[in-house]
Chains A and B, each alone.
Chain A
Amino acid sequence: MNQMTDLRKTDNRPMLRVSDLTHRVSLETDTLTILQGVSLEINRGESVAIVGRSGSGKTTLLGLLAGLDTPSEGTVELDGSVISTLSEDERAKLRARRVGFVFQSFQLLPALSALENVMLPLELAGMESPQQRARELLERVGLGERLNHTPRQLSGGEQQRVAIARAFASDPVVMFADEPTGNLDNRTGQAVSDLLMELNREQGTTLVMVTHDEHLAARCGRQLHIEAGLLTEPETAGEPEI
């Protein structure tokens, strides 16, 4: 746990509280259970990696934690709000103010420049002059010279750095990352994960990351294993490697 004295960490309630989460999807012939009775708590400022093989349900869990989807059963409480009972629009509103995302496939809008992509969440949150903040963030991630480039003109690593800048733009309390280095080579991946960790620390954000990269997972304060929809937490969660 780092020593930042951010106000958001003075609250003692957990950032995320999940109880008895079950998720099923209907297929043409039968029903598939993807998550089964998952319960967990993640504290403010914690960094947590959810590790599992492809198809283990980790991405589904991330989606439910972030309120992108609603569970079949159970509750998800994010920063004091039970998001599993909110309407889609209420969840969207909550995401706009408190949640940031980093995706495996970057998810930048191709028609917008790097600067415009970063400005987008600020504008959605209703910020008056988002350009200054977006510019600062892009400079922070080392892209101060590429503000007006469109995603197509940027390399994969650069695109992910834009995405990270965007994710932190709206000053979120919790950051969700889905295989953030999955589409990058080792070296670029390392640089991007360094950046993500650094910013996370600087901002005092709670980080929830899905990955199958053990090395990346080891950099988080806590690791959760998921297999066939069941969540297990190793007894000995060591100090994070940095």
Chain B
Amino acid sequence: MAASGKLMSVTRDWRERDVRVVLVALVIAVATVATIALFAGQLQRTLVSSASSFLAADRQLEAENGLPIPPEWLDEAEARGLETGQMVEFSTMVFGEGGFQLVSVKAVSDEYPLRGDIETQSGNQAPRDTVDRGPGPGEVWVNPRLLRLLELNIGDTLEVGNLELDITRLLIREPDGGFRLSSLAPRVMMHVDDVAGTGVVQEGSRVEYVYLFAGAEPMLEDYYHWLQPQLAPSHEWEGVQDGETFSRSLQRAERFLLLGGSLAVLLAAVAVAVASRQYALSQRDTVALLKTLGLSSRGIGGLYLRRLSLWGVVGILGGLAVALPLFWLLVSLLSDVLERPVDLYLDPAAVMPALLTAVVSLFAFAYPPIRRLRSVPAMRVLRAQPGESGREVIPDMVLAVLAVFGLVWMYAGEFTLVVALLGGLALLLVVLAMLGWGMVAVLRRVQGGGNAWRLALVGLYRHRRSSMAQMAVFAMTLMLAATLVLVRSSLLDDWQAQLPENAPNHFLINIAPDAVDDVEGFWHRQGAPLEALYPMVRGRLTELNGEPVKEVVSKDERIGALNRELNLTWMGSLPEDNQIVSGQWFGQGQTEGVSVEAELAAKLGLKLGDRLTFTIGASRVTEPVTSIRTVQWDSMKPNFYMAFPPGGGLADMPATWITSFFLGPDQKLALNDFSRAFPTVSVLEIDHIIDRIQQIVRQVTQAIEAILALILAAALVVMAAVVSATLRDRQREGALLRTLGGRQSLLVRSTMLEFALLGFVAGALGVVAAEGAVYALQAGMFEGEFRWHWQVVLPVPVIAGVLLAILGRWQLQPVLSVSPMLLLRRLE
């Protein structure tokens, strides 16, 4: 119909304040949700590719049997479009001017590394640089410590077996410098084609072939599907997700983003609901007039439905117009943190939740009050009609709750999250209702007067309906924002606790029992005291309840722990970060039993009382399982699958000791003295791994901060929208007060006080509800421990009070700057 067309014009709608609020709320909703979804996708990819560099590939296939894999396997991978690469790792003696040294050699193919890069130096004093391929044939790159030990320089040659190789670079960091106790000796990197020429690798030598694969995830999955049936137990297929160290951090970051997105959805819903209800109320007169002029109920319904759709289109386009540059900004921020360019990854599917949010917000929150416009009586043009009763709103509320539930669920896919957030909100509303009832009872007694406090309290009472509605929205908004702040802090604290500034970054392995005291003394003097020392005995688990373990455990279970020697230890007390899940830790003086790590126990199907037989050298030890415990593998401290009691099964076995400690970058030279003084002790440097993890944590933190800022901005807009919802009434009242002789300063002070009170109470309620939600989230999603966050709980009500006082002052501005007469006329 032409009339509807005429009535539907965004520019004309834009002249109406309530429409502006609905549109702004929609734009923010779409922008926030889209930005978060896009950025979460980008972050996930970036993090996976960062983490992939820990493998130097997306997947690794390790052959622990000392034999290369059949060449068809690589051909097949290449045929499927995957990138491949190869490494051969072995230990050997190398010779230089200063003598000989046991080194750990990694021979790499031209493609190495498929992911990440290698950090090198062209000389001791030269700046560090990163390169994306290893040494060429005839070259060798060596660890700086080896150079010092052998008194060699860049340009000298190094004898590896029968081959003389040119030392062309110092090897500072390999992307896959994994944390393996087998790689004890200094590292030497050479080209894989030179391996045969060295003559070191013979049949039966202890050598590990590692194959690298990179490509799109589905291709990798397909390839593994093809490969899996052909793998022998000695073949191990490794992906990033298996790397214990990062998966937990990644998961948490992802969950945080999901939480952020869900909050954005909720905030958007609240904003759209508030603004459109206000809009619907303001449209009642118009609808009555249109009906008087002859528009049918259906016509009215259609008119507003088309209007909503139009807003939806504008909101979505506007939101995307904001989201895309913002996303681009966040990604460039990410590139800065990573100090390398990040490929922009724009996933169209990531925009879907934003579109859905806009559509659902409009139809579940904006449409119901607008739909009810159809029943506005035409008679309203002649005389005010009774307003709508609360009862009509109840079906809307049910629809709204279901919609929010559905949206958050779709967005987060986490039941705990949905329940925690909505439970928190429901609790908040109950408390609010009780508080509102109490407030009305108390405020009724306050008498008016010329004092700003009294006017403020009287104002709260007189506007009790809108005051309570505003308080509900403020409290919800603040709760959502505070939840995010709290989760962020505890997430960061947790990461910090997991990897503190001076987390142990060096391991000492193979310390002879009689050297323990001297080693401890050496590092104590260097100002780098050792963490706990553990004895270590290498042994193999061979029997389970008297049966050979390989027969008991099905062949399908590829259990790395059974294929290689295990590090066994004994300890008197349970390490702080271990937790007993069943059985009991060794009692005082107890010498019987073994404590098994929980995951291994589960894979082997072990239960308390099962008898495990270990073969250690020529001896055999049999002990019952007395406890099962979890181990914090990412603690960067020595961890053990099997622990015996002191004086127990391992008492007479040949043990060496292991420990870890923190060594700052400026102390690294002490390692040379140490190696000279204790030549048999191996040093494992993992400082670069720790740096890398901390770098990942930093970049995730940055992203989290950016998203937090976005959400807080959204929250602010919601509050502004709500404050402005009563703008007209407030302004009319202010103008009247001024007309009746109220002083400006009194008006300003009482209004600001009224809003400050509203904000303070809403802030207090919101932050307490947030603590409740965080408690539930902590328990269910983030696996942290709950505690009160006074540093957030205390300031939030104050900040909310101040913020709202400012917003109140702002909406009063027109009343103060214009003559009351003009204003009253304008508000007619």
Chain A residues in the interface with B (C-beta under 8 A): 59-60, 62-63, 66, 68-69, 88-89, 91-97, 99, 101, 103, 107, 109-112, 116, 119-121, 123-128, 130, 150, 152, 170, 178
Contact = CB atoms under 8 A, between A and B. Distances in A.
A124 B382 contact: no
Contacts of B291: 68, 88, 92
A170 B290 CA distance: 14
A112 B12 contact: yes
A60 B286 CA distance: 20
Contact of B382 (A62, A91, A111, A120): A62
29 contacts: A59-B382, A63-B382, A63-B383, A66-B292, A68-B291, A68-B292, A89-B296, A89-B297, A92-B295, A92-B299, A93-B296, A95-B292, A95-B293, A95-B294, A96-B293, A96-B294, A96-B295, A97-B294, A101-B293, A101-B381, A107-B285, A111-B16, A120-B6, A120-B290, A121-B294, A124-B1, A124-B294, A170-B294, A178-B382
B293 A121 contact: yes
Given A96-B295, A103-B381, A116-B6, 5 more contacts: A59-B382, A68-B382, A69-B379, A101-B292, A112-B12
B378 A123 contact: no
A39 B291 CA distance: 26
3 closest residue pairs by CB, A with B: A96-B294, A123-B3, A89-B296
B821 to A, nearest CB: 14
B15 interface: yes
Contacts of B381: 68, 101, 103, 107
Contacts of B290: 120, 124
Interface string B597-616: 00000000000000000000
A126 B297 contact: no
Chain B binding surface, main DSSP class:
helix
A109 B289 CA distance: 9
A91 B2 CA distance: 20
B6 A69 contact: no
B295 A126 contact: no
B1 A123 contact: yes
A93 B294 contact: yes
B13 interface: yes
Interface string B370-394: 0000000111011100000000000
A124 B7 CA distance: 10
Contacts of A101: 292-293, 381
A160 to B, nearest CB: 13
Nearest to B293: A121
Given A59-B383, A92-B294, A107 B289 contact: yes
A63 B13 CA distance: 30
A94 B292 CA distance: 10
Interface in B448-503: none
Contacts of B3: 120, 123-124
A119 B6 contact: yes
A25 to B, nearest CB: 10
B180 interface: no
A63 B379 contact: yes
Interface in B262-295: 285-286, 289-295
B379 A124 contact: no
B525 interface: no
B300 to A, nearest CB: 9
B340 interface: no
B14 to A, nearest CB: 9
Most buried by A among B13, B285, B293, B299: B293
A128 B2 CA distance: 8
A111 to B, nearest CB: 5
A170 B2 CA distance: 15
A121 B6 CA distance: 11
Most buried by B among A91, A107, A150: A107
B379 A68 contact: yes
B225 interface: no
A69 B15 CA distance: 31
A121 B43 CA distance: 56
A126 B294 contact: no
A62 B143 CA distance: 100
A107 B382 CA distance: 10
Given A68-B379, A111-B16, A92 B289 contact: no
Nearest to B2: A123
Contacts of A96: 293-295
Interface in B1-34: 1-3, 6-7, 12-13, 15-16
Most buried by A among B7, B13, B285, B292: B292
A228 to B, nearest CB: 18
Contacts of A103: 381-382
A135 B383 CA distance: 30
Contacts of B297: 88-89, 92
Contacts of B286: 109
